[in-house]
Amino acid sequence: MAVRIDGKAISAKVREEVAGEVAALKDQGIQPGLAVVIVGDDAASRIYVNNKKKACEAVGIYSEEYALPGDTTQEELLALIDELNRKPEINGILVQSPLPKGLDEAAVVEKIDPKKDVDAFHAYNVGKIMQGQYTFLPCTPAGVIELIRSTGVDICGKQCVVIGRSDIVGKPMAMLLLHENGTVTICHSRTENLGEICQGADILVSAVGKAHFVRGSMVKPGAVVIDVGMNRDENGKLCGDVEFSEAEPRAGFITPVPGGVGPMTIAMLMKNTVAAAKLQHEVRS
């Protein structure tokens, strides 16, 4: 039976470390600040934004929220980003996705100053991640690496399989595993023999957004299984990509949903905001 990886407990440790760093920066007269922009009235986005504000308050990060109406124009949104880029008290800028139809999300991301891009979505930061010379890491993949490290399993030399090729999770996840000297395979909707490939994975990360997609038969005995998915099953219950009841008896370590990857994403956002404040104030770690 697999050991359940407790994302809540691990994220609490990260937040504690961040709070200590924030306190040290305040002693130097530096107050880290995060601006969160939300456009429209998407219910899930509102929950995420509220959670981020609570996390900021808990670790001592100053936060500002900009809640814009759903009919906000591209020009208005870009003007706000320009304003936030210039605000010295704001070290990090996060634009909550998805944006309403008609808004160009890529153009919005590219408008953010790379030094304030705490999501690490800007092309400049993506390039730095590719080179292994990054300041910021995308929050979810960075959180996944912390979860894997918590198991004591060394990524170096392991067969790592990532299911999903999104710019937000799949691609950067593969790159971070590669930086840890894992041997990485990226799978997606057109991958042939997916089950067979997954069966060879020492570390399996699923980020496809499909309930019960990963069956127990796809899990190598003793593997580390990280479930990034956040879905609703046929009964409306929150679940991941992995059929937990089938995978848990076979895996060595496994993340539950909820309580696995989710808490880590916000914790890593707090960590990135502190890193941004240090970068902008030229504070050496």
Q: Which residues are catalytic?
A: 52, 96, 119
CA gap 148, 231 in Å, rounded = 22
105 neighbors 47 (Cβ within 8 angstroms) = no
For residue 90, give the DSSP letter.
-
b/e for 23-45, b at 16 or more Cβ within 10 A? eebeeeebebbbbbbbbbebeeb
CA gap 202, 155 in Å, rounded = 9
Omega cis (within 30) before 98: yes
For residue 155, give the DSSP letter.
-
The tokens of 142 are what?
């960075």
Element (H, E) at 127: helix 123-131
CA gap 80, 118 in Å, rounded = 17
273: closest CA among 104, 3, 80, 62? Answer: 62
Beta bridge partners of 36: 65, 94
93: closest CA among 70, 113, 71, 123? Answer: 113
The tokens of 9 are what?
């407990």
What share of residues in the chain are helix, strand, coil (percent, to 5)? Answer: 45, 15, 40
